[in-house]
Amino acid sequence: MRKRRTSTVVLAITAATGLLLSACAPQAGTPVVQTVEVRVTEIVEKQVEVEKIVEVTATPVPEWTRPHPILSDIRVRRAIAHCTNPIELIGSVYGFLPEEQRAKQVMDTPIPKDSPWYAKNIDPNANIVTYEFNIEKGQALLDEAGWKLPEGGRIRVNDKGEPLAIRFTTTNAPFRQTWGAVWVSQLQKCGIQLLPSYIPGSIWFGGNSGLRRRDFDIGAFAWVGETEPPQPAAYACDQIPRPDNNWNGQNYMGWCNERASTAIKRAANSLILENRQKDMVVFQEEFSKDMISLPLFQRLEATAYNKDLKGLRPDPTENWSANSHEFELPGRDTIVVALGQEPQSLFLLQETAAVATIVGQLIFGVDVTQYSYGYQNVGLEGDDLPRLENGGATLTEVEIKDGDVLVNADGDVGTFKGGKLLDAEGKELRLKIKNAKEEEIDIVPGAKAAQLTVTFRFKPRKWSDGEDLKNADFALGYKVACDRQSGNASYFVCDRTAKHEVLADGLGYTWTGLPGYLPPTYFLPPFGAYPSHRVVETEGEFKGKTLAEVPPKEFKNLPELTERPLGTGPFVVESWEKGSKITLKANPNFYLGAPKAKEIIIQIFDANPAGAVAALLQGTVDIVGKEVIGAGQELETVIKEALEGKIKAEPIASPTWEHADFNLNTR
């Protein structure tokens, strides 16, 4: 399961998101011009055919911008939607739910229908396109697209005789294999052959494989819903990962709809709720119309745990691990946790799978929690987060000058020069920017644009090796996060940052956004820290050097960061037996006080939720998170056992949603 909360910090898991690059048309760097020989037949003097060789200049299409031969046709994508019966899919994994409850879990945009951000809850007249289960409509669209069913055949073919066969990739979790098998059967009834590939989550969600490298035709996973609606990182035109941008971005579909892209960036660039709501309606309208990602259903989830365990707080928008220092099992020092997938890495700048985030919270701590669709301060000084209302942030106006880098009213980053605003690809952007009242004004020299400045003061703390956290660590955190070679999953915030300055009178930093950048979650720390003092012990060219002396592009290759990182959280990595377990010891230097448990053992149950639940019922495991249980028999089992008082488990209507993305491009 993927988590939308893309961590860009090591000190704490925060809600910073983002990425980069425009891809409405092939623009990947400077194309290589090749001269090729083409044999042509020319008519000479009354029907005499002469063969000759002419030279033509061809520009190769950059990788991952070539239209997919099947899925780039919207009629095929819409046909797949009409041929999908989500009620049946839900029934395959939530068989114990009554029919009316299953219907409530069906989605048609990236936002669940019970959310205040759902388009029709904002505007009942929103033009959301729905694709009801209708095999006849699906078949008619496929016929129109040129995919015909041969007489006596089961799989459609085009006029070249090629079969309508599409790769379908997802994890090997039983939950997805269950509904995946049903979906394969559903689409076959329309003459579509899905070729399923169920692979380990560590590969599917890996930093250098699977989803991140867009190695799929149709790919299924879950976005974990959060307090805020979807961010531009997953849907904007300039967030499409490709080799030429070092796979930066999370728009794995390769979708570029300018109206949707502008709307979602505008929604992420306004402090006025009404404006954001209007833009989210526009985004959802375009999302549903283009059918680039098929929402399947909202998940029902539950975290199950030992009935004697105290302190755990199951929540729809926060991980069970967020307050692990409060966990307590009377009479025991060790708490055993089940994970259904092993983290590929603990370098969280690059690794964004939910399991990595969970382990990260145990090691690095949490400065801001997201319980119950809200934000709570944990690691910053004072009671509240730094807001405009309490003076922790300021909104001023600055004069625009020729040569300035700005964020225009559409949320796009550009350089103002010679009366034009140009993005990194040289495309002209709209010459409008917001002032402090969020009024759109012309971008001209001397005009005054809004600029946010936020000061983040952190509570004093120590790294798990006993060294004090210092401002040099925050400086290194920013340097690595925004280095284009670091492997960061998102540079969205980096590209909209004007200044990052560590404090002269305290622990932390002041962040200043580019003129015109007004993120609604400005009060969340966008960058974290790395222990700049730590000496590399791994054999190689960096042995004996501190992390401050190591190039950021090498961080993702250092075991000191990927396997045994220092943290300021409640627990410390003692050992990691790959494929088996991770042992964590209580951090004696934890700034919020000694954790109540002395040890947490993370037991790996790779793609085996039934085994994890069985271990919980047998008493050898104490916590099985919602990310492990998924759905189906395991969810039904823990709910039943909780009702009988054997364990604790409370089903929650989660904002997490299962979906299938259509990759619009091929290599």
- CATH code of the domain containing 424: 3.90.76
Provide the residue type at 63 as one letter: E
Question: What phi, psi does 619 have (nearest 5°)?
Answer: 90, 5
pLDDT tens by residue, 542-577: 999 999 999 999 999 999 999 999 999 999 999 999
Q: How many domains does the chain have?
A: 3
Q: Does one domain contain both 346 and 288?
A: no
pLDDT of residue 61: 61
pLDDT of residue 12: 42
Tokens of 464: 């798990």
Q: Indicate the average pLDDT of the chain.
A: 90
Structural domain for 446, as ranges: 378-457+468-530
Q: Does one domain contain both 278 and 172?
A: yes
What is the band of 443 on the pLDDT scale with cuts at 50, 70, 90? very high
Question: Would residue 554 count as lying in a domain?
Answer: no
**Residue 276 pLDDT more than 60?**
yes
What is the band of 360 on the pLDDT scale with cuts at 50, 70, 90? very high
Q: Does one domain contain both 343 and 243?
A: no
**Residue 51 pLDDT more than 80?**
no
Question: Would residue 546 count as lying in a domain?
Answer: no
pLDDT tens by residue, 99-137: 888 898 999 999 988 888 999 999 999 999 999 999 999
Q: Does one domain contain both 228 and 334?
A: no
Q: Does one domain contain both 255 and 173?
A: yes
Compute the Cα dihedral for 505, 482, 540, 357 and give only its sign. Answer: positive
**Residue 664 pLDDT more than 60?**
yes
The DSSP call for residue 352 is -
Could you give the CA distance from residue 189 to residue 628 in angstroms, rounded to a whole number? 32
- Looking at the chain, the whole-number percentage of residues with pLDDT higher than 70 is 91
Question: Would residue 29 count as lying in a domain?
Answer: no
CB half-sphere exposure, 308, CA atoms < 13 A: 10
Q: Does one domain contain both 290 and 150?
A: yes
Q: Does one domain contain both 407 and 290?
A: no
Among candidate residues 240, 238, 264, the one with its CA nearest the CA of residue 254: 240
pLDDT of residue 311: 97
Question: What phi, psi does 89 have (nearest 5°)?
Answer: -60, -45
Could you give the CA distance from residue 30 to residue 316 in angstroms, rounded to a whole number? 46
Among candidate residues 500, 559, 561, the one with its CA nearest the CA of residue 531: 561
Look up the CATH number of the domain holding residue 641. Answer: 3.40.190.10
pLDDT of residue 202: 85
Q: Does one domain contain both 284 and 138?
A: yes
Question: Would residue 122 count as lying in a domain?
Answer: yes
Question: Would residue 58 count as lying in a domain?
Answer: no
Among residues 477, 512, 530, the one where a domain terminates is: 530
Question: Would residue 597 count as lying in a domain?
Answer: yes
Question: Would residue 12 count as lying in a domain?
Answer: no
The whole-angstrom distance between residue 310's C-alpha and the CA centroid of its chain comes to 31
Q: Does one domain contain both 572 and 635?
A: yes
Could you give the CA distance from residue 30 to residue 233 in angstroms, rounded to a whole number? 24
Q: What is the mean pLDDT of residues 30-48?
A: 34
Compute the Cα dihedral for 95, 646, 623, 172 and give only its sign. Answer: negative
Question: What phi, psi does 166 have (nearest 5°)?
Answer: -130, 130
Q: What is the mean pLDDT of residues 307-319?
A: 95
Question: Would residue 25 count as lying in a domain?
Answer: no
Could you give the CA distance from residue 636 to residue 630 in angstroms, rounded to a whole number? 10
Residue 389 makes CB contacts below 8 A (sequence gap 6+) with none
Whether the pTM exceeds 0.75: the reply is yes
Look up the CATH number of the domain holding residue 232. Answer: 3.10.105.10
Q: Does one domain contain both 622 and 516?
A: no
Q: Does one domain contain both 228 and 324?
A: no
pLDDT tens by residue, 386-403: 999 999 999 999 999 999
Q: Does one domain contain both 102 and 184?
A: yes
- Looking at the chain, the whole-number percentage of residues with pLDDT higher than 90 is 79
